[in-house]
Each structure stands twice: as C-alpha cells, then as structure tokens.
Amino acid sequence: MAPARSGNTVFRAIADPTRRAILDRLRAGPVNAGALAADFRQSRPAISKHVRVLKEARLVTETRLGRERLYAIDPVPLQNVAGWLEGYRSFWQTSLDRLKRNLEGT
C-alpha cells in the first residue's frame, strides 16, 4: 500500500461512520475513554482503535490525567477536506443552476 500521505489519513479517518460519530460526540466537549465507549454499542477496544485512527489523522488529541485519558477534537485537519471540496463547489453550483433552469423550462 502507498505510504499513506498525511492528507489521505484524514479522508480515511472520516470514511467510517463510527469515527464520524465519535467526532460528533467530541464536539460536545472532551471525554475520557470509558465515557466515550459507553456511548457506543461496540466494545471498548473497538472504540479505542477508532480513536487511534483519529489520533493518527490528528483529528483527536489525547491528554493523560492520572489513569484517565481525555480525548478532545482538533478540527484543523478537516480543512484538508474542506479545501479539496472547494474545487467542486463551483461545479455543484452550476449543476444546481442547470437543474433549476431545466425545471423552469429554461
């Protein structure tokens, strides 16, 4: 497999619905691993591995507090995705315009 350019890890990280849900959960504020896992139906190790992927993508930061670990969101790498999307914004604009024109009979 390719060396996983840092850009790609973000796209890969958000590809999984559980990981997106974790990010959504972290938007409400930092939580420790146990509380986070409790919000999901998967096992704690499963969530732990998802968190690891998110950490590798720099989307989640970890703060150790005694035996606990607090996870918090870092949305900055998402700008990568936003940037990529920018290149398509004009396209879907014109797609919508075209649709609108068609609906209006030109």
Choose among a second copy, DNA, none what residue 89 binds, the Cβ cut-off being 5 to 8 Å by kind. Answer: a second copy
Report the nearest approach of DNA to the CB of residue 75 (Å). 20
Find the binder of DNA among 7, 25, 30, 32 (CB under 7 A).
32
**Counting beta carbons within 10 angstroms of the beta carbon of residue 50, is it exposed (0 to 12), middle (13 to 18) or buried (19 or more)?**
buried
Long-range CB contacts (within 8 A, 24+) of 55-61: 56/9, 56/13, 57/9, 57/10, 57/12, 57/13, 57/14, 58/6, 58/10, 59/10, 59/13, 59/14, 59/23, 60/22, 60/23, 60/26
Positions that interact with a second copy (CB under 8 A): 2, 5, 8, 11-12, 14-15, 17, 20, 23-24, 27, 73-76, 78-79, 81-82, 84-85, 87-89, 91-92, 95-96
Under DSSP, is residue 68 helix (H, G, I), strand (E, B) or coil? strand
Report the nearest approach of DNA to the CB of residue 47 (Å). 7
Report the site for DNA in 56-85 (rule: CB under 7 A).
62, 64-69
Contacts to DNA by CB under 7 A: 1, 12, 15-16, 18, 32-35, 41-46, 48-53, 62, 64-69
